[in-house]
A and B are shown apart, each in its own frame.
Chain A
Amino acid sequence: MRAVDDVSFAVAPGEVLGIAGPNGAGKSTLIAMLLGFLSPDTGEVSVDGLRPRDYVQRSGVAYLPELMTLPLTWRTDEALDRLATLAGVPRAERMVTRERVIEAVGIGEHRHKRLKALSKGNLQRVGLAQALLMERRVVVFDEPTHGLDPVWTTRFRDIVASLRRSDRAIVIASHNLDELERLSDRVAIIDRGHIQRIVAVRDAVGDGAPRRWHVRVAAGFDALATEFPGSKSVSGVLECTVDVAELNRGLGAAIAQGALITSVTPAESSLEQAFRTAVAR
């Protein structure tokens, strides 16, 4: 059985690439190949021109696996010290580095606890901390917000934003489309081992394709409805399906007639739409 087949994509320095797909789609297999933990039967994977394993052995990769599989008898600070040592953090800088990442992910109160005493979310934060130990040019996160609470999910987005650098490539595999849409430049949608589509998230809204929009008004609903024939009212919110240019024209005309627009939001994200189409069975 092939976990992934006929897959081709590239991640450029400075880019954040998301990998989306349902469970069992092949996301983790792709990442294992990217890190050289698995080799493709045919074809080629290269990182900075090298075989993945050669690249990792030479430069290391900031990697957060899907499952936090460090020995649970290790203490938090011990785990970070060990991995900092292997990561090549000089002895004199190890403690400072450890405390920096502990601070960054807010696990100070857990630094002396054994990993088995930590909650799932805190374990995930330890995993994130170890990925931040060194400045790497390749960053790979596999289901990074798995187990994180909403506060730390938001903080994680800030951390990823701070990791963006012109010479750094970041790959994030997740089944959370909202997360990928917020963090990524492009998202590869994978299903049944194939890349079904690669969506340029930043450009998707302005790509000219009609989308469903929800428009709320404080006044002038009728004027708005007139500008969007075929639209419908859902609980006082106008729902229309138009492209961005037509949306702007209609809104402008409605405002000129006295409509007070309070919000315009996509009924579903461009990524959700693309995902639904790509994995339709």
Chain B
Amino acid sequence: MSAPSPLLAYAPWQARYALLRAAAPLGLFMLLGGIPLWGIISGVGLEAVRQPGEAQSAAMLAYGQMMTLSMTLGALISVSGLVALDRERQYFRFLFSQPVVPWQYYLQQFVISAVLFAAAMALIPMGFGMLVIDVPVLPVVQSAFLYVVLFGSLALLCGALLNKDGLVFIAVLIFAVTLQQAEAAGALPGWLAAFANALPPFVAAQDVRAQWLAGQAAETGALIRVLLYSLGMLAAALFIVRRAPLAR
């Protein structure tokens, strides 16, 4: 059997980076989100939470909020800064004097980070299931993957273009979500509605996630739109990494 390429052999190091990168914020969000749940359990007792009723509804609400927080911010943190940080801190000088293709390096890091993040998110429903009541794990993993691919590809694109990618990402996110929510409410004129729809489809991703978590099938059009848009941004980011100077 031939030896793996240097880049494939480097995958475990990238996985370690992804885990270290995602673990702390993910743990923090789970903790923050878990505090209300802990409060409910402390107040009414574990048995009461496990029985259908108001306490369980409150626990389910806390679970949903913890999920939203962890999925949104965790997805952003786990894949943001990949290109920009290496460029800004000049790590690329060591990485890319080796026989490695930069865009392949970042694609591999992106895939590893996305898969590990989605897998890590499974811990939340599993933990909730052990403690309170069984909740489906697969929709959470699916949603986390969709989020991390959408957020990550935008973050990668921002990082390929600019050093301050985090700020730009947040600005685009807030701008797009605000416009798309207004568009969904039918409150925008035609041209602005078209513009809102041309922005990264955050609201469509929210809708797909909500459908999956509610145990429904996702609307195919929205799902395909989110995936295609993400792949488009990812391809654009990798193209820029390939063509633009590494030293800027």
Question: A residues bordering B, Cβ < 8 Å?
Answer: 32, 35-39, 56-63, 65, 67, 69-71, 82-83, 85-88, 90-91, 130, 140
Contact = CB atoms under 8 A, between A and B. Distances in A.
Given A37-B245, A56-B96, A62-B97, 9 more contacts: A37-B247, A38-B247, A57-B101, A63-B93, A63-B94, A65-B90, A69-B90, A86-B6, A87-B98
Nearest to A65: B93
11 contacts: A37-B246, A57-B100, A69-B94, A70-B91, A71-B91, A85-B10, A86-B7, A86-B10, A86-B100, A87-B98, A88-B99
Contacts of B96: 35, 37, 56
Contacts of B101: 57
B208 to A, nearest CB: 36
B95 interface: yes
Interface residues of B, number: 22
B92 interface: yes
Interface in B2-18: 3, 6-7, 9-10, 13
Across chains A and B, which 4 residue pairs bring their CB atoms closest together, nearest first?
A69-B90, A63-B97, A37-B247, A60-B99
A1 to B, nearest CB: 14
A61 B245 contact: no
A56 B99 CA distance: 6
Contact of B245 (A38, A57, A59, A86): A38
A265 B247 CA distance: 43
A163 to B, nearest CB: 16
Nearest to A29: B247
A61 B90 contact: no
A71 B92 CA distance: 11
Contacts of A86: 6-7, 10, 95, 98-100
A156 B89 CA distance: 26
Contact of A69 (B3, B6, B89): B89
A60 B247 contact: no
Given A57-B99, A65-B90, A65-B94, A85 B9 contact: yes
Contacts of B92: 37
Contact of B10 (A57, A61, A67, A82): A82
B108 to A, nearest CB: 12
Interface in B72-97: 89-97
Nearest to B248: A38
A275 to B, nearest CB: 27
A83 B246 contact: no
A141 B76 CA distance: 37
A256 B167 CA distance: 81
Contacts of B99: 56-60, 86-88
A27 to B, nearest CB: 14
A69 B93 contact: yes
Given A37-B246, A82-B13, A86-B10, A70 B3 contact: no
A70 B17 CA distance: 14
A60 B97 contact: yes
B89 A90 contact: no
Interface string B98-109: 111100000000
A241 B245 CA distance: 49
B92 to A, nearest CB: 7
A88 B10 CA distance: 9
A111 B90 CA distance: 23
Contact of B94 (A85, A88, A130): A130
A77 B77 CA distance: 28
A59 B13 CA distance: 22
A61 B95 CA distance: 11
Contacts of A32: 247
B212 to A, nearest CB: 37
B115 to A, nearest CB: 20
Given A56-B97, A85-B10, A130-B94, A39 B245 contact: yes
Contacts of A62: 97
Contacts of A60: 97-99
Contacts of A38: 245-247
A60 B6 CA distance: 11
A39 B245 CA distance: 7
Contacts of A61: 97
